[in-house]
Structure 1
Amino acid sequence: MTETGDTRSATGEAREAPRGGLRLLMRYLPLVAPVLLWAVPCWVLLYGGQHWPFPVTVTGTVLFALGLTGMPLAMARGHGRRQQDRAAIVGDTLLGAVWVLFTWSVLLGVLLRLALTAAGAGDGQDRARTVTWAVLGVTAALLAWGYAEARRVPRVRQLDVPLPRLGAGLDGTRVVLITDTHYGPLDRARWSARVCETVNTLDADLVCHTGDIADGTAARRRAQAAPLGTVRATHGRVYVTGNHEYYSEAQGWVDLMDELGWEPLRNRHVLLERGGDTLVVAGVDDVTAESSGLPGHRAHLAGALQGADPGLPVLLLAHQPTFVDRAAAHGVDLQLSGHTHGGQIWPFHYLVRLDQPALAGLSHHGARTLLYTSRGTGFWGPPFRVFAPSEITLLVLRSPQSPTTP
């Protein structure tokens, strides 16, 4: 983090104290967060004035204690060195469920209790039990709906994107974006095939995948990724790496996508020519690539644009929206990204915005750069999407030189 002028004027000791506090917070957050996630709902549902019969209180407390101990163990076995898919499914599902339970325990535990108190509804025990049943009901409904949202084939989101430097011959170019498919412990080979069938109905000139294909190596998730080889596009299929490739032997994914007929844009570009005009389609490795230690893997925009005519419009694929500052500095016309999942499970999107400049949709950056951030085609980890629907995106590029452009 860059220091501001105010922080520079402070003493070294004053600067060191908050930094030390932040380091301590980040060090102990993985230990404190699971305790809070399970302890807060436990208190709201069982000990907030309900006065349940003793067997109910004991049983509920035991269940919360099992969740608190079982969730991190399952996630460690599922996502750690052993990579056990069944354990990952259990751990991920518990994580998603307790996040929703925690969120609504806090919200309804405060707001509903205040509303009931203000209305003079019942005594303290009645209000506490009403809150309990409301939290459980809302949580169950959201988890059922969120699971269905996560597992369905995404709806197609279509929008026109005006690019001032786009030639008239390229007006109407259809670019389909899929991203963050996250093939993983839950077998989604049939879902993958249906996604690709949907893409093939969109009459795409160019199909892009902006990374995070899977959680796991290409060898383990090959069957789920195989339908990507059936995707059709008039002018090409292009792909860039996401951060999750670098958790799972990224070069294996680059090789598999190449084998499936997709062109990996690893700090390079291709040209899309249509109607006598040309579009530069460039791609960069994910910003985490260099820290992976894999030889030759890094995000290098200058290399991606090397040799391209600077007068031509540029479409850039970069997994993370945060790369847009560099894209804007190089005069990129449109960057396509994923990574955020639109937050995936509300209200996690507030935390995403601390790390990324955009959550979802089209945004402007710098003098001429547009950024489109997809909410993602699949889901990561917990098999739920709550108030953050997945998408397959159809972007129709528009030229100001065409009479069809509004």
Structure 2
Amino acid sequence: MALGVALAVVATGAAPATAAPAPTPVKDAATRAVEPDGKVPGGFTSWKDLLATQEKLVKAADRLTAAVRTQGGAGFAGIVAAPENRELRVYWKGAVPERIGDLVGRLRRDVPVSVLPAAYSARELESETNRLGRASGSAVTSIAPNPDGSGLTVSGADYGETRSKVAGSAVPVTVEAGVTPAPAARWNDDAPWLGGAAWRNASTGLGCSTGFAVTAGGASWMLSAAHCGSVGQTATDPTGQVIGPIAYADVRRDVMLIRAGTAGRVYNNDPAATPPEYSNPVAGTSSTYVGMWLCTSGAYSGTICLCQVKMTNVTIYLARDVLYGMALIENSTRKNAAGQGDSGGPVETPEPSGTTRQYAVGVISLIDTSAQVPCTGYVTTGRICSWRLYYAPWSNATTAFPGIAIATG
């Protein structure tokens, strides 16, 4: 598909001259349901029904993923959760091992599982991704394995140059032209700090969003995006109140930990609306699979649902850094999914029984500025928003910081 020119880091510059949303004097513990407006995909009668089906598919996919890791899965290619079709699709190159086949049989007692043939395994596609990344230089901005194991999808700013750099690929390659990733609050939070709130880097003035409260080593931390700052710098809220120091950062996974007193809740209100604000408790974590329906909740854009995962295990090539293990989501309505200032903010999915509790899925990282749309929420002059974005899944956080656990509310 033909896309525009750039992916952008989803941070904002120094504090805008226009007034920020009015501060909320007292933190409101109100909780509300998080559900998108409009028609529910797949003919479901409600979002709760779709989310309940999605949750079953994700749990089955997690069991399969764990089995592949522990029992060996040389032919494993990928998994697609398809809640609209009410099935889990597993792609495999060659014969499926007996133990995996037995597990699939058990899973089919609860959810429909289709095992489909793949041309290439995930290992083969990962190897070719690494080779192409080394060989293509700045011509390639991202490489992702197709979840059905059919090959790779490669993006670059210039179609012809990108096409020429991957012409000798050992696997089929689809080239998307014009895609160049680049990095992308609420506004007066206080301790204990919640996810989805605005924070600023006291050293650089960059504005980002808090992600999820986590615990590790007996201490509490706030998860956000690594491109928002460096270890030793200080995070504050927009009023200058100190949140805490940036203590750990993994640039390759685009995740960081801010040392702070936190609580397991996330803001989900419109940041441009008048008080009262509201937040929702975090119920736990969720893995990421192609086909899942998710919501984003950056401090600038607010909570936006109807976002669907299109790719996983994406490798992003920025000017100075390479990011690994990223996921791509798109707003199915082609309206805003996230924008500058939303970096580090929550990517979540509602727990289906009441949609008032949220599973942590990841944190916002990059927007595709070639897919620009009008911003939502708190709109400042010159701010860029997009219907297409990349996020760092929860697995990036656990890989970067072994031993962390989500803080629930």
Superposition TM-score, scaled by structure 2 size: 0.28
Superposition TM-score, scaled by structure 1 size: 0.28
In terms of fraction of residues, the more helix-rich structure is: 1
